Structures are given as C-alpha cells and as structure tokens.
Copies of this chain bind each other. A is one copy, B any other.
Amino acid sequence: MAPVTNARVLFAAVPKDFPIPGETTVHDTTQTIDLDNVPLNGGFLIKTLVLSIDPYMRGRMRSPEQKSYSPPYTIGAPILGYGVSLVLRSENPDVAAGKYVYGTVPHQEYNIMPDMQGLTLLEKHPKLPWTVFVGAAGMPGAYNGSFSASGVNELCFQERPRTLAGKNSRTQKRRSSDWHLYFRQLTWFFQGETAFITTGAGPVGSMVIQLAKRDGLKVIASAGSDEKVKFMKEIGADVAFNYKTTSTREVLEREGPVDIYWDNVGGEILEAALDNANLYGRFLECGMISGYNTGQKGIKNLNQMFAKSLTMYGILVFRLQPKYDKEFYEVIPSALASGELKYSEDVSRGLETVGDVILRVQEGRNTGKAVVIVAEE
C-alpha cells in the first residue's frame, strides 16, 4: 500500500494567555507514513481512535525553563495526550495487532510506539464506546477513586514510604497493615457532611458528585452554564448553580458551611470556599483552571487554614494510577454501562478539531468530557 497521510497536531507557539487554534497548535497534513513497511524496531504501530482533551494540557504548553509536574510540549513536535488506539502491527510480544491500548500518545493519526511504557491494554466493552475510556472510564474518571473510601485517602501519601525507602525512616518499622489503616483514614469523611464540588458537570466533578451522594453527603455543585447546572441536578447534586450568574459566596453562606471542598478551579471560588469552610474542613486540590491561561489569582485568605483547622490535600491522579488501575477497570466501566454511574460527553470529530477543542475546554465551553474521535476502527 502506498504511503498515506499521517496528520498531526504540532505545538507551534507558547500561548500568551488562551491557546489559539492555528497559532498555538497547527494541524499539519504534510507527513506521510507507509503503514505496511514502516520499520517498527521491536515496537508497534498504532492507529489513533479517540483523543482526550483535558485542562492540564495547557500546563504543558509552556517554555521549557518553567518547571512543572509534567514535561513541556516541544515546539515543532506533536502535542501529547491521552487516547485510545488500535494496534495495526507489532513486533512486541506483549501486544498483538488487533489489541487496543490506552495512554499518552502524540496527537498523530498513526504512531510507532517503542514499548508499552505509559500504555495499558484495554478490552473492548460491549456497551461502551471508546470515548468513555478517555473520560469517565479513563484518566479523569480515575479521580473517582479520590472520593471513595479507598480514594483520596491514599492519593497524597501512598507513595511516601517507597519514595523514602533507603532512608532511616520511622515508617519502615511499621507493619504494612498499619499503613493500610493510615491510608484509609486520611481524609475520612462523614455521612451528613456537606461537600462543595466545582466543575461539577465535567468528567472529574460529575463523578465526584455521584460518589459523594452515594456516600451520604449533602452536595453543593457549581459549573458555568445553565445546561451544566441541569446535568448536575440530574446526577444528584442537592444544590447546583451557575457560578457566572449566581454568587458562590451567597450559595455557600446559605447552604454551607463546607466540610469537603473539591477544587478544580482555584481563584475567587477557592477564596469563597475558605471563608465558608467548616471547622476541620478538608480541601481537595485537584486543579485550578481559573488561572491556567491568565495567571493564578493570589489567594488572600489562607489564614483560614489555621483559623478553622483546615487540611488541604494536593492530589494528582497519575501518581495513584499504577496502584488502582486494576480495581478501577473492574468496577467503573460496568457501573457506567449499567447506568449506575452517569456521564456526559462533548464529542468532536477529526484531528483538525483538536486546537479548537483545547480552547473550548480552557474556556469551559465544553459540556461534559471533551473527546475527539480521530478515526473509526
């Protein structure tokens, strides 16, 4: 077969504020690939089926000098993101042609992967499309676990013993069963407590709302459109509001105080949550999208931390993933397929839409998990 186009999304320039399609990222169709004959060098060739567009990607669109938890994208190279791909050819004994892999890949129609690092094999689900496996049953959904009993509890701390292995630490004298107990109890929450969940219509927030309700909490949830508010009510939020048209402070003053705050936004809403926190409140810092494009607003009332004996946990899903992957895939896809857990998707078609979808996600104009279908199988 003659070479075919291997379209890609290149990182072209660091955005000044919001990422501009065609400037920050460029859809490039000049590259070709010979699918039958391209050398694999022991790796495997995959075809991109769906790509996930997520808020954190803005953080990778930066100058290489700036340090962060994820490496910066390289100017002139394809951007990277979570996706589901079909294996077309393989020289790797662990992954045969016809299998499906999930993980971070370059935004190209076809990729040659050297090995399975960062990738997971997925089984096709009879009732769920692949888009779900980059959303509610993918990385954002994995934050799910964060709110369940085996969740946040572990997020911050589970790797500490390993990180410190080799140091003369008190930890090493403890039995593993003690650690188990430790993790389980870390941010224990209580039936009857009140949770405030931001970006409640997104793939992370909407899962957190449902798990919080399952666990007997009163749920206050915010998002940026009336359509999103409607969805949050459908999935069980006791109080749902549009933060663009309703004062977050007023809602929290009336419906709070807040025992558990799930933060995906930062900024003024974080300040309102601090001022309306209950004594011994727990803040789960998962993201701060309000500042990703125009800079983080300074938080001026962190003195509430000691005034109210609050605890704030920074959580990052990929430090947890290796440990929970097995349980996650056993539990979550079937709960989504049965309708026990609900989800919402915002689907675009074609790799050429990626730049636009990235911008829409940063502006909060997506309703539900933003996914791009690049190709059918």
Contacts and interface: CB of A to CB of B under 8 A. Distances in A.
A309 B319 contact: yes
A314 B307 contact: yes
Interface string A287-314: 1100100011111111111111111111
Interface string A213-226: 00010000000000
Contacts of A302: 266, 270, 285, 288, 296, 299
A292 to B, nearest CB: 9
A308 B285 CA distance: 11
A341 interface: no
A144 B186 CA distance: 23
Interface residues of A, number: 57
A183 to B, nearest CB: 10
B163 A191 contact: no
Quick one: copies of this chain in the complex? 2
A309 B301 CA distance: 21
**Interface hub of A168, A279, A311, A313 (most chain B Cβ within 10 A):** A311
Nearest to A304: B314
Contacts of A316: 306-307, 309
Contact of A305 (B168, B171, B312): B312
A280 interface: yes
Nearest to A316: B306
A172 to B, nearest CB: 9
Contact of A303 (B291, B305, B311): B291
Interface string A65-98: 0001100000000000000000000000000000
Interface in A90-124: none
A132 to B, nearest CB: 24
B163 A280 contact: yes
A254 interface: no
17 contacts: A68-B307, A69-B306, A159-B280, A159-B309, A168-B216, A169-B191, A169-B192, A178-B181, A285-B306, A299-B299, A299-B300, A299-B302, A305-B312, A307-B314, A309-B315, A311-B311, A311-B313
Give 10 nearest A-B pairs by CB, closest first.
A298-B298, A305-B314, A312-B312, A169-B190, A69-B307, A306-B314, A285-B305, A310-B314, A296-B300, A298-B300
